[in-house]
Amino acid sequence: MANGFVGSKESWDRLTAPLLGLDSTLEAFANQHGMSLKCNHHNWPSRSLEWGAPVERLIQIYLADEEPLTWNFWLCAHEDRPAGRYWKRQFLRESTPIEDIADSLTSLLVQSHQLLESWSADDLVLGVPGK
């Protein structure tokens, strides 16, 4: 994921438009499962469903490549500990057209939620040592 979008409003609108069609399904799923829905994290076209503590869980759809317009659908669980951030991640779709995600969004969300809920703190590995 890039560190933020740089470009015109027209380009931003073109890149974020595919996500708008997913929003109602994402909002409903988030509400049903007590998650928060966040949009365009770090000023990059994306949608994130977040929940949990102390292990934080994330389902995220984000722009993989502007040309061609492709998207990633990934899961992450993490916990910050004194030694650093422990985490586990998995991609369910990589560099795929948004239609591939949209056509199976509900089943992807259900699968993702079940998988993330099955991961415990013991499944996480140290990713970035503490400073």
Question: For residues 38 and 23, is the Cβ–Cβ distance under 8 A?
Answer: no
Q: Does residue 7 or residue 51 have the better pLDDT?
A: 51
Q: Does residue 84 or residue 129 have the better pLDDT?
A: 84
Q: What are φ and ψ of residue 99, in 5° steps?
A: -60, -35
Question: For residues 75 and 94, is the Cβ–Cβ distance under 8 A?
Answer: no
Mean pLDDT (whole number) for 102-117: 98
Question: For residues 78 and 55, is the Cβ–Cβ distance under 8 A?
Answer: yes
Judged by phi (left if over 0) then psi (alpha if -120 to 50, else beta), residue 129 lies in beta
Q: Report if pTM > 0.75.
A: yes
- Axis crossing angle, helix 105-118 with helix 23-33, rounded to the nearest 10: 30
Q: Which residues contact 58 (CB under 8 A, 6 or more apart)?
A: 48, 49, 50, 75, 76, 77, 78, 116
Domain range summary for the chain, segments of one domain joined by +: 9-129
Residues comprising the chain, all counted: 131
pLDDT tens digit sequence for 59-107: 999 999 999 999 999 999 999 999 999 999 999 999 999 999 999 999 9
Q: Which of 14, 15, 11 is nearest to 1 (CA)?
A: 15
